[in-house]
Amino acid sequence: MRTQQTRLWQPIAAAVLALATATPVFADSNGKASPTAVSSQDAVRYRTKRIDGIEVFYREAGPANAPTVVLLHGFPTSSNMYRNLIPALATKYRVIAPDYPGFGHSAAPPREQFQYTFAHLADLTDRLLTELRADRYALYVMDYGAPVGYRLALKHPDRVTALVVQNGNAYEEGLKAFWDPIKAYWASGSKADREVLRGATTLAATREQYLDGVKDPSRIDPTAWLVDQALLDRPGNAEIQLDLFYDYRTNVALYPKFHEFFRNRQPPTLIVWGRNDKIFPAEGAQAYLRDLPKAELHLLDSGHFALEDKGTEIAALMVNFLDRHLPSR
């Protein structure tokens, strides 16, 4: 059965992933392409490194000696979510966007051979950055990227030059009703509560994450969620994701440590947040200001994947912010 599933999945995934290689650009509200994205797209490189026996995929662009920006993706996506942002940043910065194991183009070893926890994902990301000699970096954190990135910050506080937070939660205020079934699973660890969450790995759920809270759904490219789902549908991957849903509780336990890092280090911080996000509502964005009172906060009329329809605005805010705060080399 596993071989048959793999054979069925491979041609579908190949077709969808071929679409993902098309030249991506941001479009403004009138549908006009961003010339910055077009002109620097050819600078993006698609590479893999073997870390602890695992093939880890990453996108890289920009001058090798420029300040480094690391883009950390969320669920259920990959570095593909940054396909438009990377070229917009690459004229000035070295950009690195990895795929975690089990996501995107990175290997997805069986659960029996690899521990799918946020601590492990952060550790492999740290090792990748060390291999790439990225010893100082700004972090863009979205969704799962927040706990991965903040674990890096706890381990290497001196390496973090700035934070860009896009719908990446670190506060209880950001865990509203959407999280109730997940919290039930955390409390019980039961098979029944695990099965309740299986629907979150379906195409309907992935599509909803992209469209919910978006003012004009016609601006959202369906290729994005189809690419995500093709990779999510790899044999065994649903169980991997359910393991990570359960392990997310360890991130919440670290929230006080994350807050301590914010208070003690006061990294320059830009918060760009889709205010209509039901997964991480705007209260989670506003809570950052308790510990980072100098943070710049922008609540955008968008949802969870705000880069999809507010990419031009986010890129402009980010470049302006980084220009003011990143140390030159």
Report, as residue numbers or ranges, the catalytic residues. Answer: 304
CB atoms closer than 10 angstroms to residue 186:
17
| CA-to-CA dists, residue 46 to 22, 49, 326, angstroms | 14, 11, 25
Sign of CA dihedral 146, 249, 302, 76: positive
Tokens of 164: 């860009």
Tokens of 142: 């979205």
Paired with 178 in beta bridges are none
Whether residue 50 contacts residue 124, with contact meaning beta carbons closer than 8 Å, is answered with no
CA dist 80 and 94 (Å) reads 17
Pairing of strands 94-98, 54-61: antiparallel
Judged by phi (left if over 0) then psi (alpha if -120 to 50, else beta), residue 31 lies in: left
Which helix or strand (DSSP H or E) is residue 70 part of?
strand 68-72
Question: What are the backbone dihedrals phi and psi of residue 161, each rounded to the nearest 5 degrees, phi first?
Answer: -90, -25
Sequence-distant (≥ 6) Cβ neighbours of residue 167 within 8 angstroms: 74, 142, 143, 273, 274, 277, 279, 280, 285, 304, 305, 306
